[in-house]
Structure formats: C-alpha cells, structure tokens
Amino acid sequence: MDSSTIRERFLAFFAERDHHQVPSSSLVANDPTLLLTNAGMNQFKPYFLGEQSPPFARAMSVQKCARTPDIDEVGKTARHLTFFEMLGNFSFGDYYKREACAWAWELVTEGFGIDVERLWITVFQTDDEAAEIWADEVGVARGRIVRRGKADNFWSMGVAGPCGPCSELFVDLGPGYGDASEEGPAGNEDRYVEIWNLVFMQNDCDAAIEPVADLPKKNIDTGAGVERLASVLQGVPTIYETDTIGGLITEAERLTGVRYGTDDRTDMALRILADHGRFITFLIADGVLPSNEGRGYVLRRVMRRAIRHARMLGRNEPVLGGLIDATDALMGGFYNEVRDKKDFIHDVAEREEGRFDETLRQGLSLLEREITTNKAAGSNTLPGDVAFKLHDTFGFPVDLTREIAAESQLELDETSFASLMEEQRTRARAARQPGPLAGGLHDAVATVTDQQGPTEFVGHEHLSTTGRVVALAAGADGVMVATEGDEVDVVLDRTSFYAEGGGQVGDRGVLRGPDGIAEVLETRRLLPGVTGHRVKVTAGEIAVGDEIEVTVDRAWRTGAERAHTATHILHWILRDRLGDHARQAGSLVEPGRLRFDFNHFDALSDAQIDDISTELQQRVLVDDHVRAFETTFDFAKSIGAMAIFGEKYGDFVRVVEVGEYSKELCGGTHVPHTARIGVVAVTSEGSVGANLRRVEALVGEEGLAYLKRKASALDRVAWMLKAAPDEVAEKLERLLATQKEMQRSLAAVEQRSAESDATRLADEAVDVSGTRLVVARRDAGVDALRALAQSLKAKLGSAVVVLGTAQEGRANLVAAVTKDLVERGISARDLLRPGAEMLGGGAGGKPELSISGGRSAERLDEALGAVGQAARAALAS
C-alpha cells in the first residue's frame, strides 16, 4: 500500500464519520512558542485552550511536521526523520476516548488490514478508563494492554499549552527485530513500533510540562505517522525503505553513486541526504530562507549537513537540486506548494550550496590542521578558540565543527567555546549602546513606576499634554531636582512623546515646568511601559512632582511619520512583487529617512527597483486613509495583519491599515493620509547579510531635496557638455567613444616613437671589447623602460643596456644583459648594485634583467655613471 493510498484511506474513513478536512498548516508555525510545526494539533491549539470557538466539532488532516531537537541524531539510525507526515483526527469537545479508540482499532485492523495478533496498546499508568475501553469495548486481549508512565504516555507540545494522557497503538514486527517481551513495547522498542498516538487532550500545562488546569472541554488529538504506517504496510524493515523516503534514498544513491545497504557509514550519509533533502524542499516551499537565526538557521544547518555528507560520499557537484526534484516527483502531487514553488526552491538551494562550498573549503582545511595538531599532542579535546575562530571568521557552523571533531574522537571544549561566544556577545552589546538604566537606578525607577503605573501615552492623538514628573534619573542615581545644564532622564505619568520602538526613532521637543524648561534630546523606553525623556535643562530647574507641559516637535514627528507609513507601503509592495518570503527583518524610521531590511535571496534588478519605487510613489499619491485600531491578537491575525516574527505581542494589539491593502501590527505613529508623505525617493538597495537585503529611501522634504540635488547635478553636467539634460547621456557616450579612439591613436604613436627611440639608442651604442653598451636616461615609467631595455637587447644581439628614470621624486635603474654575456658571468643585478646604493634602495631581479629604485632622485645621473662604469669594467675583463 503506497503512501498516497494510506492518506486517502485515512481521510475517507474519517470523512464517513463526519470529520471536516483541514489542509496542512505551514511548517512555519503560527505560534510564537514554536519554531516549526511539530504536530497536527498545532493549528487547533486555540480551540483546545478555549480561546477560539472551532467552526466544526470534528476535523482531520494530513500535516507536515518537523522534529528538530536532535538533528545530529537523524541518519545515525533508521528510525528518525526531521520531516514527516502526520495523519490525525480531532474532536473539539465532541467525542472522546470511546470513539477515538474504537475507530483507531477499526481502521488499523479492517481499513489497513493489520493482523490483530500483531497489535499492542499502551495507556497512561493511571488511566483505568482507557484500559477498560480497550479491553471491554474494543475487545483487545488484556495481556496486550500495557501501562506506562509520563515519559511515554503523557503528550505535550514540549512547551506550555494543551496536553493530556495518551494511548498508543504498536505493531509487533516479529522475531527478526529482537526478542519478544511480556511487556510488549515497554520491553523492546525495536521490535514493537508505534504507529498511532491517541491523545486525550484535557489539561493545560505550564512550561515545566506540569498540568496546571483542566481545559474547558475534553478533546481528542490523534497522530499517525505516514512513514511508520507505510513501513508496516509495505513490509519493509525501516522507514527508509518505504515508497517516499525510500524514493529519496534512490535519488541519493544516483547522485553519489553509492549503494544503500553496503556500509554503515555511507548508509548514514545516504539517509541524511534523503531526509534532509525532503525537509529542505518543504521548508523553502513554506517561505523559510537560510539564515543564522531561528528557522532560517534550522534550514541552513540541515542544508549544510546534507551538502557535507554528499561531499564525503564523493559528490562534488551540487546535490540539493536532485533531491528537490525527487521530493517533487514523490510528493508534489499531494503538496502543491512544492510543485508551484519549485523554481524558487531550486534557486534558494543552489545559492546556499555554492556559498557553503566556499565556507567548507576554507574551514575544513583549518579544522583538519587543528585536529592533526591536537591529536599529535595527545589531546582528546578540540580547543574552544578553534571552533570560535571557525565560526567567527569563516561562518563555519559549530555543530559541524563538533561533528567533524567527534569523527576523529576529539571533543569540543564547550565551556571555553561558550565563554568566547558570550564575550563576543558582550562586546557587541557594549558596542551598540549602554542600556538605558544602570542596575541600581533600574530598581529605583522600577519601584517608582510600580507605584505610579506605566506612562500613559496620548501621543497618537495629541502632540502636547500635561504630565507630572514621577522620577528623575541622572547617570546612575535617582535625583529630586535637575538644574540648568543638567542632562537627565525624566519620567512622567503621562506624555505625548513617542518612545523609540518598532524601528521608529523617539520624539524630540520641549518640557516646560513651573520653574524651568528642558529640551528633549531623545525619548526611549527605560522599562517596559516606562518612557524616559532624555533632556537637557536649558533654564531654571525641573523637580520631581512638577506639573509639566510637554510639547512634541511637530516637524520632527511628521518627518518620522512620513517615513513610517512609507515603510509599511514598501513592505506590502515587496511582498507583492517578490513573494511572501520578503518579510521585514528590521527597520529604521527617522524624520525624512527610512531603512528597511527584508528577507530575499537576490539583488533587485534595476527594473525591479524602478517598478517598486514607482509603485510606492503612486500609492502615496492615491492618498489612502491610514487607520489604526486596537483589537485582539487573534482578530488581527484573522484579518491577515502582518506581525513581526519573534516579537512578543500581548492579547491586545494595535493594527495600522493603509487603504485597504496593508495591515500590520504596529505601535508606531503614522500620517493620517498617504499623500502627506509627499515624495518618496528610493536611494539604494543592497545586501546586508546572507539573504538579507536593505532598501533605503528619503521621504517628504528630504526626498524632495534629494531629487533636487540630483537634478541640479545633472543640470551642471548638461551645462558643461553644452547639451540639454535629456541629451546628456547620448552626448557623453559619444565623448567617451572619441576619448577611447584618441587613446588608441596615442598608444600607437607612443609605440612608434618608442621604436624609433630604440633604433636611435642602438645606433649610439658604444663598443666595449667587441660587445655593445648603452647607458641612457629616459624619464618615463618603469614599464616603458623595461620594454625599451628588452627591445634594445633584441636589436643589439650581444649587449649590456643600462637605463635610468626619475619621476615624482623617485628614481629607477634598469639593467639588461643578453644571454651570452650572462653565460660569461655578467649579472644585471651585480651591475646595478653601486647605482642602487646611491639611490637609497636595493637591486632585485634576475641576471638578465634587474630593476632598482630609491628616493634619491637627484643622484640619478651619478648612479647611471657608476653603473655604466661597472658595466664597462665587466665587459672589458
């Protein structure tokens, strides 16, 4: 029974029992607590927790899942996969244990035809109810029902959330897989394989996976791995021989020319290629790009691991492309995203593979040297600084270092590596900026604001308001008063000042108290919810308790708002034009200026940049409304609002909408209408890291000033060329062509004059004991002199040539000796030596041709004389 029949049969069975088919959710889990989707139930978590009401009471799915806690283990055995497919049926407060058990049994025995004699059941140790149901209602022999503890029969997502006791179905693979055990699976997990897990989802657990509450309803969550079922139903010894993953093994064999099943070591590499190749394909199809963080790092890691094993098997050509095609051929019919995005997947993989080959080449040779040295020294540890250097200088992944070192029985010194990494982080932090509040002060402000509550922010609606000073912080101390000239942080109970956040720079402006005035230089968050106004007191004093009139600098704020709204529009356009993967990775929004970083694997072409900036300007001119509203996180998600991955959001969020198209979770401030942005001029696009691009733009007045600067530069050039601005390019092209032509003729003239110079010098050569000698000065470049010397040698047949040049305070001597004279023992280098000394330099080169140089240009003639003399003496002897 092939995998597609397994999927179909499962779905048909539960469809008959009123289950609604839900598509697989993306591997990119829509859940900040999870890096990647790890179970069919992930997408239903809000239903289990009672946060949302499910639109149906029963569901079923075939879910793409990833399990990546121990990537290094995958391949070593034939039991693990990073990516697998999970069949599941779900009940949201509808049916419970009774139906779940009975249906699972029916499908497994009748639907899939597995012999009852081969089946075993496990239940949670205290779950009498489940044990009774299996024995009395389903009719499983009591001896085949085994009780197990929390580690085996209590399921959670691995993080806080819904969880519950579970019951699993096992198949006995038979005597070929080890000894039978009275306790079945509890006695031997090699022989008895789990094919289906039924979770009785009834508890909510904390991060320590301790149940802390009952869920509002009792639910069912089941999961059956397609690969495991396939191995049983196809009667093959492991999942790596089933139709899909086995198909990938076949491709890995084809790519490497190595056969599976011949050697443990190469088998491991083939399994890695098959498993990782498939996982890579699915990750990229779901929009993950290789990077150094989060899921991007998982992807990069498996890509690199696969590539390295392919190279180890002797494949030096790219390997990922073939695995992607095989995944598509085997699974693309069911998972359309793989087929639809195939070109994109290839593109991303190809680039990473190329990049990694380079890293590998450099890192491996360093690592191998270090391994040899350390082993030779009798050590069994690889020093942490080696791994650190590889990581820091070559971008060589530490897990790879660890793995390669282990292959030579060396263990990485993890402690020293970790401390070097930590030092580096500390350095990076220190280089960024000191934290807003030093230790003691942090506590002081925290105490005050604990009593006063967070700063009330009214700056979305009002640019000025009044607030009371609740704390003043100067350096590391809290103070009661700040006087003229002091720089302090002012904490108010209410403010209109926007604190730097979400990429948007903090507001500037003025605070006016009853006894003094302060200029706000910077506004930032000192603690969550607490705004600090960094001020310089310009007159009088500001004291704790003062009523303050706060006024934000309107021009500053408007400038920032223009840039911020433009950023949202740009984000939307980038995703629209480049694809959903072009997600925001960071941004900086300042008055008149924006910088936007996003994920993309390629430089944008001029045409793309032009298209994006035109679209941006057009969307500004349409003058859409910009609206902001507060809502629940779930509602925001349901209307498709963009959230920044990795950012923590509360239950209530603020959504900013531009027109009908862009929706983002955002706490920043924005223009009310897009036309207020005025001009948006994209000024640059470039790379800021692997698969990370940056667009910069100027907006509003700064945008206008930029365009004006460009226009007037063009005007100047046009004036110089005596052409209209439109004709500048054409005219300049013609001019450059003429220049090239002139250079060519000039070179020809120079060549001719050099030849006639050589002829003249040859004619003037003096005769010394039957051979010829030329000594001359030509103030030209060294290359020209060398060419002249060579051509004289050719013309004269048997000769010594000595030439000198002085240019820009530097002098050079060139000496050339024909071969016959070299054989007689005359060396150009020796001849030059006396002259070189006078010029203040040394002589280098060969006996046939030597060049020397020095700074004493004024002694050139003298030096030439000395060399000439030496030559004469040498020839005469």
Which residue, 211 or 454, is less far from ligand SER as judged by CB? 211
**What track of x and - describes contact with ligand SER for positions 728 through 747 (by CB under 6 A)?**
--------------------
**Piece of 172-180, 219-227, 338-346, 429-437 that binds ligand SER (CB under 6 A):** 219-227
Identity of the residue, 40 or 277, whose beta carbon is nearer to ligand SER in the bound complex: 40
Quote the CA–CA distance of 64 and 84 in Å, as a whole number: 6
Burial (CB < 10 A; 0-12, 13-18, 19+), residue 802, is buried
Of 35-43, 482-490, 596-604, 810-818, the segment contacting ligand SER by CB under 6 A is: 35-43
Per-residue contact track with ligand SER, 75 to 104, x per CB under 6 A?
Answer: -------------x----------------
Axis-axis angle for helices 97-106, 3-15 (nearest 10): 140
Shortest Cβ 221–ligand SER spacing (Å) = 5
Q: Least distance to ligand SER from the beta carbon of 135, Å?
A: 22
Min. distance of Cβ 98 from ligand SER in angstroms?
A: 18
Nearer CB in complex with ligand SER: 156/531: 156
What DSSP state is assigned to residue 108?
I
SS3 620: helix
Interface map 44-63 toward ligand SER (x if CB under 6 A)? --------------------
In the complex, residue closest to ligand SER by CB: 223
Specify the DSSP class assigned to residue 111. Answer: I
**768 touches 870 (CB < 8 A):** no
Q: Cβ closer to ligand SER: 199 or 838? A: 199
Query: What's the min distance (Å) between Cβ of 197 and ligand SER?
Result: 4
Q: State which of residues 6, 36, 41, 472 lies at the interface with ligand SER (CB under 6 A).
A: 41
Q: How far apart are CA 772 and CA 820, in angstroms?
A: 12
Nearer to ligand SER, 104 or 679 (CB): 104
Q: Which two tokens stand for residue 611?
A: 């298209």
d(CA 817, CA 826): 7
Question: d(Cα 45, Cα 176) in Å, to the nearest integer?
Answer: 40
CB of 37 or CB of 523, closer to ligand SER = 37
Smallest Cα–Cα separation from 600: which of 360, 356, 351?
351
Cβ closer to ligand SER: 155 or 633?
A: 155
What is the nearest approach in angstroms of ligand SER to the Cβ of residue 38? Answer: 7
The torsion angles phi and psi of 838, rounded to 5 degrees, stand at -65, -35
Site residue total, ligand SER (CB under 6 A) = 10
From 36-44, 99-107, 717-725, 776-784, span contacting ligand SER (CB under 6 A): 36-44
Is residue 40 near ligand SER by the rule CB under 6 A?
A: yes
Binding region for ligand SER (CB under 6 A) out of 221-229, 336-344, 558-566, 735-743: 221-229
Options 220-228, 537-545, 720-728, 852-860: segment touching ligand SER (CB under 6 A): 220-228
State which of residues 37, 219, 222, 504 lies at the interface with ligand SER (CB under 6 A).
222
| Nearest-approach distance from CB 91 to ligand SER, in angstroms | 12
How far is Cα 118 from Cα 82, in angstroms, rounded to an integer? 28
Tell me if 498 contacts ligand SER by CB under 6 A: no
| Residue span binding ligand SER (CB under 6 A) among the ranges 218-226, 554-562, 739-747, 783-791 | 218-226
Q: Tokens 């096992």 sit at which residue? A: 170
Gyration radius (Cα) of the chain, Å: 38
Phi, psi at 480, each rounded to 5°:
-95, -30
For residue 489, give Cα distances in angstroms to 447, 473, 479, 520.
16, 5, 10, 9
Residues contacting residue 692 through CB under 8 Å, at least 6 positions apart:
291, 585, 597, 598, 599, 600
Judged by CB under 6 A, the chain residues 135 through 164 that form the site for ligand SER are 155
Length of the chain, in residues: 877
Chain residues 170-209 in contact with ligand SER, contact rule CB under 6 A: 197, 199
Q: Which helix (H) or strand (E) holds 212?
A: strand 211-225
Out of 93, 161, 165, 223, the residue judged to bind ligand SER by CB under 6 A? 223
* By CB under 6 A, residue 306 contacts ligand SER: no
The CB-based long-range contact list for 412-417 (8 Å cut-off, 24+ gap) reads 412/381, 412/382, 412/384, 412/387, 413/381, 413/382, 413/383, 413/384, 413/387, 414/384, 415/384, 416/383, 416/384, 416/385, 417/384, 417/385, 417/387, 417/388
Footprint of ligand SER (CB under 6 A)? 39-41, 88, 155, 197, 199, 221-223
